[in-house]
Amino acid sequence: MPRNKERTLGAYIGAKVRMRRLMLNMSQETLSGKLGVTFQQVQKYEKGLNRISASRLFELALALGVPVGYFYEGLEESDALARVNGAKEGLQDSPAVSPLMEFISSGSGVELNQAFLRIDDDKMRRRLLAMVNDIARVTGEPKP
């Protein structure tokens, strides 16, 4: 597999690691202690700078309380086929992490999602979503 595909997949998986860790309100130090590595190593995993081996991915899944497949959720099948077949399309040409995944895996993104999920009133959720869409429209940013 070409190195840029490895980095792209590593960045995607790293973003999923970060998102789950933040969802659990777990520090990098706590996660590193569970894995027996330094927190700097966890940082490198989360940024996609260092490859995560199959055994380490299994340990991460246990430490974060998710199945191993969680780290691959959201990948397109065409991306996986491109890697297997060595095609020049798919993950290789796409950004390492989409802006959506980058936001969702950020501290603010996780906090916003957790707060939104704590709103029990469906009508209030819809009103909040409408307000956010209105704000986005006013700022002139195009919808994704």
Instruction: Tell me what pLDDT residue 133 has.
Output: 87
Q: What is the average pLDDT across 6-15?
A: 81
Helices (H), 24-70: 28-35, 39-47, 54-64
**DSSP label of 141:** P
Report the percent of the chain where pLDDT is more than 90: 47
Domains, the chain, ordered by start: 3-105 (1.10.260.40), 107-144 (no CATH)
Instruction: Tell me what pLDDT residue 137 has.
Output: 86
User: Would you say residue 115 has pLDDT above 80?
Assistant: yes
- Report the alpha-carbon distance of residue 56 to residue 62 in Å, rounded: 10
**DSSP label of 142:** P
In this predicted structure, which of 23-32, 98-107, 109-118 has the lowest mean pLDDT? 98-107
Instruction: Tell me what pLDDT residue 119 has.
Output: 92
Between 58 and 77, the more confident residue is 58
User: Would you say residue 113 has pLDDT above 50?
Assistant: yes
